[in-house]
Chain A
């Protein structure tokens, strides 16, 4: 079946560097994507979303890019901080559900 997937299971970056987390999706009809951050022992926390009529959306220190041609989206975190260490999920919103990838664990080194 169609799914949402992430390119890398782990990512380690130096504090202050920028982080890029990638995600691929297979359903070309998908029109709404969300990035979540999940810290240990907590539920997923909404970071930023994007609809298919946009290529880019920016939040506070985060940017999501959507490339519909290759069905790829990415989450960019500027000036990564220790508090950004977590597992990041991209999710594809369906009619009544959301499909999540397996997640990328981001580790920020001091």
Chain B
């Protein structure tokens, strides 16, 4: 186990709704990254947070937003849900500035949009 936890495990929403996913990083890590993994594909980078600020963003629209808190935990918010947002959402934590800033993943939140 990596020590990265995510909640909830599963979630079902309808199109147009909003959702908030949560992530607690591994102890000692100060950076959280979020990924979207569609079925049968590799994870796609959404964004990264470091010291409570967005520190990089992938090719996702503004309705995907996030927060990082002083304890380094993080939230991913998605507004105006679309059917294609159905996926496994993964967060990964790492220690920025470390010699090996490897990202360690949580178990993910499975989001289904109906």
Contacts and interface: CB of A to CB of B under 8 A. Distances in A.
A2 interface: no
B58 interface: yes
Contacts of A98: 33, 43, 45, 92, 103
Interface stretch (A38-46, A59-67, A71-79): A38-46
Interface string A21-62: 000000000000010100001111110010000000000000
Given A49-B100, A95-B56, A96-B48, A101 B105 contact: no
Interface residues of B, number: 24
A38 to B, nearest CB: 9
Contact of B105 (A44, A95, A96, A103): A44
B105 A43 contact: yes
B102 interface: yes
A40 to B, nearest CB: 11
Contacts of B48: 96-97
Interface residues of A, number: 22
A100 B11 CA distance: 25
Interface in B1-29: 2, 4
Contacts of B101: 93
Given A97-B33, A97-B58, A43 B107 contact: yes
Interface string A70-97: 0000000000000000000101011111
A47 to B, nearest CB: 11
Nearest to B46: A97
Closest 7 A/B residue pairs (Cβ)? A96-B56, A100-B42, A43-B105, A97-B45, A44-B105, A96-B48, A43-B107
